[in-house]
Amino acid sequence: MEQLKIVVIGGVAAGPKAAARAKRCHPNAQVTIIEKGEWLSYGGCGLPYFLGATVKELKDLMATSWEAVRTPEFFKKAKDIDVLMGWEAVKIDRDNKRVEIKNVNTGETQELPYDKLVLATGAEPNTPPIEGVDAAGVFHLKNPRHTLDMKEYLLNNDITNAIVIGGGLIGIETSEAIANWGIDVTIIEMQDQVLPFLLDKELASAFAAYLEQEDLNIITGTKVQKIIKNQKGQVKGVETDKGIIEGEMVLISAGVRPNIALAEQAGLNVEKGIIVNEFLQTSDPDIYAGGDCVVCEHKVSEQKVYVPLGSTANKHGRIIGTNVTGGNEQFPGVLGTSIVKVFDWNAGRTGLSEAEAKQLGYDVVTAFVPGPDKAHFFPGKKLILTKLIADRETGKILGAQLIGPGDIARRLDIMVTAITFGATAHQVANLDLAYAPPFSPAMDNIINAANVIKNIIDGKAKNMGYKEFKSKLDDDNVIYIDLRTEEERKAKSLPAKNILHIPYEELRARSTEIPRDKEIIVFCILSTRAFEAQLILNHLGFKNVKFVDAGIQFWPL
């Protein structure tokens, strides 16, 4: 029987994973990886941390758990996989099942036959049409060479101000890395919020306020039109549609675009990325594709989405490795789950955003619930803010977003599981989660958020969002009731026109002080007391009463 020939194009994440899995499933297969770059099988998501010195050595991003560096020699000796570094795939001959490759240094070409072909061609940084992007001191951050070049520039030049174009995940992470060098950083985002593909606007506003406390300069709703050079051709600032900002280094972090040129040349179906079926086959059944070059199906919307993530690329690679050797494993789709840590805060999201859910026709209900990540009496507790997005008719959870200094990863993963299996707010509220004071409150933040969703659907909770709450601060027809203690009020004031201070415990006794001809908005730090205050006032005959989502702890005022 002729030896099975598997050729893998791309040697970063999905490609090596597919190759290694294929070899495990079919030890006699001839597996070859083609990689045009200088590095193999590296953790690209760790590059900002190498720049900021959290990760000390570049080789750590290419090492196994037992600290063996993944070189071509390692792949050959440990896995019997051939790796051709510095070779680029330039053409696919589907009729004859051959790939033409070219040596990027010498120009030499050759052809490789294949029985099964894997496209793991990844993505490239998106460069907006900005004049002056060729200036010295302008960088992207997508591969180790970019990071090494940035480090060298930082070491050899007097950089006091850096500009990051793009306030997405990589832009935010790299801003922290640059700030670790003692450099002032300005983030310029064209959309009206940071992390536009991760967080809804309310949570993004709270996260941006925190970043500004950490001395990052945040400018949103602004477009960079030109990079300004000095006489030596080096960056000295940028010109935006709102003025000039000075800086000696620029990072362009405007997202990525999938590398689909090779697939297009071969006549494969593409749209936003390479189109694959549930088995990760392209329109040619002998060609598979995975990682940042493909589009996936969203588990909730059932629409094709482009969500390039290292976690997805590795799962793709494993399934492809199984299937190219005769397996029949399906990839179930994605939820767009992402998480980021910047300084001491975390942010994460899974499922649909509120806007996406509304666009799909859901009658959306949302809950914003803050709380500690450990029991409130336990040392070291930190706050998190959870937003749940649900369908009013069924109570089904559609999405979740979390921010704050506390442990959000555990809660985010709970919601990934819940959304994956179509759980309702009632089911989430009654999950048998692990509890002990060092790990969570007895009623975890996620459970509380699900109960709030239930209360809103049932008509018990009359909540008001941050945007509406802020818009009424100067309204003569609104009175705000501050339920906090005198000591709590010293930490944060509310710039409202009409405020009545009635501590929560005194509300029943002092309800006669509250006018009945005005809209009443009750608030406290985390809304725990505010919801109960709304119920108390409703019971006492007050009709027009609402509480502020999440209290005032997280919201910039």
**In the listed set 457, 492, 516, which residue is the last one of a domain according to the structure?**
457
CA distance 477 to 464: 16
**In the listed set 457, 488, 504, which residue is the last one of a domain according to the structure?**
457
Residue 552 identity: I
**In the listed set 421, 439, 457, which residue is the last one of a domain according to the structure?**
457
Q: Are residues 249 and 268 in the same domain?
A: no
pLDDT of residue 2: 77
CA distance 289 to 121: 8
Q: Is residue 555 part of a domain?
A: no
* Segment 483-509, tens digit of pLDDT: 999 999 999 999 999 999 999 999 999
Q: Which DSSP helix (H) or strand (E) runs through 445?
A: helix 445-457
Q: Are residues 442 and 538 in the same domain?
A: no
* Segment 108-166, tens digit of pLDDT: 999 999 999 999 999 999 999 999 999 999 999 999 999 999 999 999 999 999 999 99
Residue 7 identity: V
Q: Is residue 482 part of a domain?
A: yes
Our count of domains for the chain comes to: 4
CB 31 within 8 Å of CB 8:
yes
Mean pLDDT of 425-433: 98
* Segment 378-410, tens digit of pLDDT: 999 999 999 999 999 999 999 999 999 999 999
Q: Are residues 382 and 438 in the same domain?
A: yes
Q: Are residues 115 and 144 in the same domain?
A: no
CA distance 493 to 553: 10
Q: What is the domain extent for residue 388?
A: 344-457
Q: Are residues 375 and 476 in the same domain?
A: no
Q: Are residues 349 and 441 in the same domain?
A: yes
Q: Is residue 472 part of a domain?
A: yes
Angle, CA 369 vertex, CA 367 and CA 370 arms, to 5° = 160
Q: Are residues 230 and 262 in the same domain?
A: no
Q: Is residue 63 part of a domain?
A: yes
Q: Are residues 307 and 371 in the same domain?
A: no
Q: Are residues 23 and 118 in the same domain?
A: yes
* Segment 321-334, tens digit of pLDDT: 999 999 999 999 99
Q: Is residue 291 part of a domain?
A: yes
Question: Own/partner pairs for 263-267, CB < 8 Å, 24+ apart?
Answer: 263/119, 263/121, 263/289, 263/293, 265/91, 265/92, 266/91, 266/92, 266/94, 267/94
The verdict on whether 45 is a catalytic residue reads: yes
* Segment 370-382, tens digit of pLDDT: 999 999 999 999 9
Q: Is residue 339 part of a domain?
A: no
pLDDT of residue 57: 94
Q: Are residues 373 and 428 in the same domain?
A: yes
Exactly one of 25, 45, 296, 524 is catalytic; name it: 45
* Segment 193-249, tens digit of pLDDT: 999 999 999 999 999 999 999 999 999 999 999 999 999 999 999 999 999 999 999
Judged against a pLDDT cut of 80, whether residue 1 lies above it is answered with: no
CATH number for the domain spanning 211: value is 3.50.50.60
Q: Is residue 129 part of a domain?
A: no
Residue found under tokens 């001191």: 137
Q: Are residues 356 and 385 in the same domain?
A: yes
Q: Is residue 48 part of a domain?
A: yes
Q: Are residues 469 and 445 in the same domain?
A: no
